[in-house]
Amino acid sequence: MTMLAETITERRRQTRNSIYQYMFFSDTPHSKQEIAADLSLSLPTVHQNLTELIEAGLVRRDGTQQSTGGRRAMRLTIAENAHFAVGISVTEDSLRFLAANLRMHEIAYKKTSRLAINEIDDVGSLLADELEIFLDEYGLNRSKLLGVGIAVPAVFDAESQEIALAPTLRLKDINLHHITRHLHYPSYVSNDATSGGYAEWFTQPAQKNMAYLSLENGVGGAVHLNGAPYEGDNRRSGEFGHMCVEPNGLPCKCGKRGCLEAYCSAARISDDLGITLEDFFEGVALHNRTYEELWRDVLSHLAIGINNIRMALDCNVVLGGFLTQFIEPYLSELRQLAASLNTFESNSNYIKLCRYPKRASTLGVALYFIKEFMENI
């Protein structure tokens, strides 16, 4: 192929990709005329590319627009079920599987029974076996599977491609190949909080800068700056759970004392009291003194952590993770606590609640393959 031919082919691919991405990020179907006008393309060019995308099964017809006197225009949208990706979240006591279509809609979900992950010799074999069971149980077509993302509450060593430390899993120095070697599909491994933050950021493209603080049995986070993820030199950016908020304070699973995770994780509530989060917050609402005092302590240390993040990054702080689903009634109080610590601001409206309090990490790590597919059509 000559250089000119290659250039023409690449230009056609970019045009096709711009049309597909336009439709991908649109909330409603569009006609060919609307696509041509919005992208400043000729109608024949749009028609040709859409014909190719329809024949490939990637775009589908979705009814017609209301007539304005002439022939009603056909509405088109992406074929969201043409492909799917799977996200797996590894926790200390279970595996969570989520299949998402190209619209990031959940099409299947499963949580395994209790498992002691740190006591299993071959985690990779377990993942592969449970994945095949999951695909079979929900009748998912493997030929449409783009890839499998695995979210782990861990710090990674970028050079050695290892999990350097996963405190909640009690794992250390585990090569990523040990986790992925039995999978028969493209795979990708990421930090769970980074994955959750990516799902939040990707669905709000207008938000250029964001710090994501994940509150689950562990506490982590992610940073997105200037419209892109920032992982840091050692892939440890956003490890907010291990910033010190109380010198010589409560012991953390990482081996240090006073970490934000030791004070603000869901495990501190459920494990220390031996109750569910639902029971705890019901008790708080009924003014159980023990529960109220613990929750007040959680909020005060959470405000310290949030203020530290705001001071360092000067951007919105989005609270995520399953603990977040209980925070909304206390958001005003949390904002007041954070504002009282802030040198420059009298309010803390920069503290936001996430869109995905549940399953954000599994969705976010599956999104890796959806985004890759979308950008390479």
**Domain coordinates in residue numbering, the chain:** 3-78, 84-198+360-376, 204-353
Question: 233-254, pLDDT tens digit by residue?
Answer: 877 889 999 999 999 999 998 8
pLDDT-derived band of residue 72, with 50, 70 and 90 as boundaries? Answer: low
Query: In CATH terms, are 84-198+360-376 and 204-353 the same topology?
Result: yes
Instruction: Find all residues with CB under 8 Å of 97, minimum gap 6, and list them.
Output: 86, 87, 88, 108, 109, 110, 111, 112, 130, 131, 134, 362
Fold classification of 204-353 (topology level): Nucleotidyltransferase; domain 5 (3.30.420)
Instruction: Give bridge partners of residue 95 from the DSSP assignment.
Output: 90
Compute the distance between CA of residue 28 and CA of residue 86 in angstroms, rounded to an integer. 25
Asked if residue 283 has pLDDT above 80, the reply is yes
Using the predicted structure, report yes or no on whether residue 120 has a pLDDT greater than 70.
Answer: no
- What's the pLDDT score for residue 112? 86
Q: What is the pLDDT of residue 160?
A: 63
pLDDT of residue 244: 97
* Total-model pTM: 0.82
For all residues of the chain together, what is the average pLDDT? Answer: 89
- What pLDDT score was predicted for residue 4? 39
Q: Is the pLDDT of residue 98 over 90?
A: yes
Phi, psi angles (nearest 5°) of residue 165: -160, 130
The superfamily CATH assigns to domain 84-198+360-376 is: ATPase, nucleotide binding domain (3.30.420.40)
| DSSP labels, 276-338 | -HHHHHHHHHTT-HHHHHHHHHHHHHHHHHHHHHHHHH-SEEEEESGGGGGTGGGHHHHHHHH
Least confident of 153-162, 263-272, 312-321: 153-162
Q: pLDDT above 70 covers what percent of the chain? A: 92
42-46, 85-89, 157-161, 278-282: which range is least confident on average? 157-161
**CATH for 3-78, among 3.40.640.10, 1.10.20.10, 1.10.40.30, 1.10.10.10?**
1.10.10.10
**Cα–Cα distance for residue pair 218/123, rounded to 1 Å:** 20
